[in-house]
Amino acid sequence: MPIKTIDHAFTSNSLTSAATDPTFAGALSFMRRRFTKSLEGVDAVVWGIPFDAATSNRPGARFGPQAIRRASAIFDNDPQYPFSRDLFSDMAVIDYGDCLLDYGNHQKTPETIEQEASHIIAEGAFLLTLGGDHFITWPLLKAHADQHGPLALVQFDAHQDTWFDDNTRIDHGSFVARAVRDGIIDPDHSIQVGIRTHAPEDFGIKLLYGHHVEEMSAAEIAGAILERTAGKPAYLTFDIDCLDPAYAPGTGTPVAGGPSSAKILSVLRQLGSLDMRGADVVEVAPAYDHADITAIAGATVAMYMLGLRAERQTGPLNI
């Protein structure tokens, strides 16, 4: 039995050490990982971007990173289900804190995000970002594409985010259109899951509408994703409003008729062969949440992303 400590995010002596903080206390980094800006020996980075000035409906996603970190405390100590392992025993993960943005000059936001993300990626670390509204995915995609080339986009969302964009807008509903036009993503190998709205363009991206997701099994959805991406380097972005408002009320633009958290988590669990080069969880807006339902869903999705990364790094366990 290890000697118990508290505030593991500051007191840990190893990037792969398990935390022993009580669930209800201690410093709330993501899953108690060490807070640090040092990237030495780091396999994966969790980073927050508290930005929501691009929202078209309800603001509040700037508080998403805080809420997700708080909800992630429930995963501490025990082997993480369904991966049956301490995700951090063989994968060094840090909480890089948050991106510092000038709230009075939003035109600087994309460059600020892209530059810091590029620094992290250049050090060889896998970057998992906590938003923030969905605009932040635009500079994140640019940073990842600079390193890996055009990406297959796997997007869980109620919205296509392909609305008109003049390349200067700060808008969470148009980043996909911009990414296609600029060659950042490859639409022929990209897929959007859970769509429950209509947009003027689909740019050739494969759509699994909400009613398709309702009728398909989790295995069929995962199979469609893997078939579409075809082994290409992929970026996974998860807008929490992909889930039905019953499972994610705390978001800016909720849309009825979505899937359950259980079904979508089952889909994620079956994406082990996806060549995921980066990922984000966005649009958690805790002011509209109840009993942390949405924050828990967001934290769980983020944990699954790290679980998939851990398995890709060390291989799955046979259970």
pLDDT, tens digit, 9 for 90 and up, residues 191-227: 999 999 999 899 999 999 999 999 999 999 999 999 9
Q: Is 144 annotated as a binding residue?
A: no
Domain that holds residue 291: 8-314
Q: Is the pLDDT of residue 2 over 70?
A: no
Q: Does the residue 156 lie in any domain?
A: yes
Q: What is the dihedral of CA 99, 65, 135, 38, to 10 degrees?
A: 30
CATH number at residue 244: 3.40.800.10
Q: Does the residue 26 lie in any domain?
A: yes
Q: Does the residue 2 lie in any domain?
A: no
Q: Does the residue 130 lie in any domain?
A: yes
Task: Give the whole-angstrom CA distance, residue 47 versus residue 51.
Answer: 13
pTM for the full model? 0.96
Q: Is the pLDDT of residue 3 over 80?
A: no
**Residue 47 · residue 5 · CB < 8 Å:** no
Q: Does the residue 40 lie in any domain?
A: yes
Single-letter code of the amino acid located at 13: N
Q: Is 239 annotated as a binding residue?
A: yes
Mean pLDDT (the chain, rounded):
94
Q: Does the residue 319 lie in any domain?
A: no
Task: Give the whole-angstrom CA distance, residue 26 versus residue 94.
Answer: 16
Q: Is 157 annotated as a binding residue?
A: yes
Q: Which two tokens stand for residue 139?
A: 């500079």
* Helical axes 109-122 vs 137-148, angle rounded to 10°: 40
Q: Does the residue 45 lie in any domain?
A: yes
Determine the pLDDT at residue 319: 44
Q: Which two tokens stand for residue 146?
A: 């600079």
Quote the number of domains for the chain: 1
Q: Is 171 annotated as a binding residue?
A: no
Q: Which two tokens stand for residue 128?
A: 């998992």
Q: What is the pLDDT of residues 72-114, one digit of tens each?
A: 999 876 789 999 999 999 999 999 999 999 999 999 999 999 9
Length of the chain: 319
Task: Give the whole-angstrom CA distance, residue 71 versus residue 9.
Answer: 15
Q: Does the residue 157 lie in any domain?
A: yes
